[in-house]
Amino acid sequence: MANNKKNASLGKPMAGGMVYVAPTGTELPTDATTTLPAAYKSVGFISDDGVTNSTDTDTTTVTDAGGTTVINEISSYAESYQFAMMETAADALGVRFETSNVKTEGDELTVDHKMPTGESKIYVFEILMTGNRVKRIVVPDGTITEYGDTQYHAGDAILYDVNVGANPSDLIGGATSREYIAPIASRHVSAAAQSKEAEPAKADAPTA
């Protein structure tokens, strides 16, 4: 296959957000362009480092008496997504401190800092690609495995830095996450088509 620069891409946040969360049990998205259900909440702005997807593998190597490698295979695999949230808001704080530890009353927030329980959430990452395409990454079972430091000073925004471990899920065939990639225009075409279908049929104009 020949090189095609149209397949090279930057990864930017979508206009509505880059990271969404929903309670476990919420219906999973199954394509890149269908609008997410209302249960999926954006955690708001993400720092300029964006989202980092990492994999961690261990390899088992067995050699014979002469030092020749006989077996060399991956024996474990783990995947994670790291990002830093910029907004001090309920949905972002619910990721950082777990949902049950964040209380809202009007414009007021109360946040308890407690030992994490390993709360599982669904995570969806929405990435705008070069060439008017969108990548949607779905993690059906995500749990926070690491927390970054939070600094308070006048020079930088307050950040809530987390590392989400993507656990294998039977909902996507035992995978840790699943990607969907499609032209973003199809989302707009689909919405326009649905709107047109919803319009009542017009009666024929009476003839003279």
Q: What is the pLDDT along the chain (208 residues), one digit of tens a residue?
A: 789 888 889 898 888 899 999 999 999 999 999 999 999 999 999 999 999 999 988 888 999 899 889 998 888 889 999 999 999 999 999 999 999 999 999 999 999 999 999 999 999 999 999 999 999 999 999 999 999 999 999 999 999 999 999 999 999 999 999 999 999 875 544 444 444 444 554 445 455 4
**Beta-carbon contacts of residue 23 (< 8 Å; ≥ 6 apart):** 39, 99, 121, 122
Domain boundaries along the sequence of the chain: 11-56+75-196
CB 41 within 8 A of CB 69: no
What predicted TM-score, i.e. pTM, was given to this entire model? 0.83
CB 95 within 8 A of CB 86: no
Q: For the chain, where are the alpha helices, taking DSSP H only?
A: 90-97, 185-198
| Residues paired with 19 in a beta bridge | 125
**Beta-carbon contacts of residue 21 (< 8 Å; ≥ 6 apart):** 40, 41, 43, 91, 94, 95, 121, 122, 123, 124
CA neighbor of 161 nearest in space, from 78, 93, 111: 93
